[in-house]
Homo-oligomer: A and B are copies of this chain.
Amino acid sequence: MQKDLLHHIGKFIPLNEAEQQLLVDRIRYEKIPKKGFLLQAGKVCSGRFFVISGCLRQYVMKENESEQIIQFGLPGWWICDHRSLENGEPSEYYVQATEVSEVAIIDAGVQEELFSKIPLLERYFRLIFQRAYDASLTRISLEYCISGEERYHQFAKNFPDFVQKIPQYMLASFLGLTPEFISIIRAKKKR
């Protein structure tokens, strides 16, 4: 289990024995029950969460009291309100498990020690954020360039298992559509 995160990081940067040991010592692991929260709006984000197994979702509450899912956290992905974590400000986000999940946690109080003792860790996170940022620009681009229906199809093609697994209303929220519309799209596809 711990090997998962070390192995993942090791794909980006070389880690010597001492550095690996330090990570093993400092990183916490938690099992989160379905619907369990790692972050709630109004609280400061306490750490960075790496999904080992299961699935998390990050969402905000809209004015009309409904939830807007901003991103999912699949295995191998990080999820966190980075601004809240870095600045110690209350978050507007919720981070919740959509199913029983296991996460590796770098607590806020531990991260600077890790960065100073493992300098290449900054490089790892720079690469991670660079990719995440690029992906989010692509997401914005798709939002403006193709229809909601096409975005659904593209997403279903890229993540077929995920689309099968999560509730339709969550998928709709994440894509900025309504569950009713997803039903219409899916009914069309069956003809």
Q: A123-B115, A130-B129 are in contact. Are A140 and B141 (CB under 8 A)?
A: no
Closest to A61 in B: B145
Contact among B70, B86, B134 for A140, CB-based, below 8 A = B70
Q: Are B68 and A137 in contact (CB under 8 A)?
A: no
Q: How many copies does the complex hold?
A: 2
- A130 engages B63 (CB within 8 Å): no
Interface of A is mostly: helix
A42 within 8 A of B: no
Question: Which of chain B's residues have a CB closer than 8 A to the CB of A136?
Answer: 133, 136-137, 140
Q: Do the beta carbons of B126 and A122 come within 8 Å of each other?
A: yes
| A155 CB–B CB distance under 8 Å | no
How many chain A residues touch B (CB < 8 A): the figure is 34
A143: interface (CB < 8 Å)? yes
A105 CB, min distance to chain B CBs, angstroms: 17
Give the shortest distance, in Å, between A12 (CB) and chain B (any CB).
11
Once bound together, how far apart are the Cα atoms of A83 and B122, in whole Å?
18
The answer to whether A144 touches B82, judged by C-beta atoms less than 8 angstroms apart, is no
- For window 1-42 of A, CB contacts with B under 8 Å fall at none
Most buried by B among A86, A126, A136, A139: A126
Q: Which residues of A contact B (CB under 8 A)?
A: 60, 62-63, 68, 70-71, 81-83, 86, 115, 119-120, 122-123, 125-127, 129-134, 136-137, 139-141, 143-145, 173, 176
Q: List 7 A-B contacts (CB under 8 A).
A: A68-B145, A82-B133, A129-B130, A129-B133, A140-B140, A143-B143, A144-B176
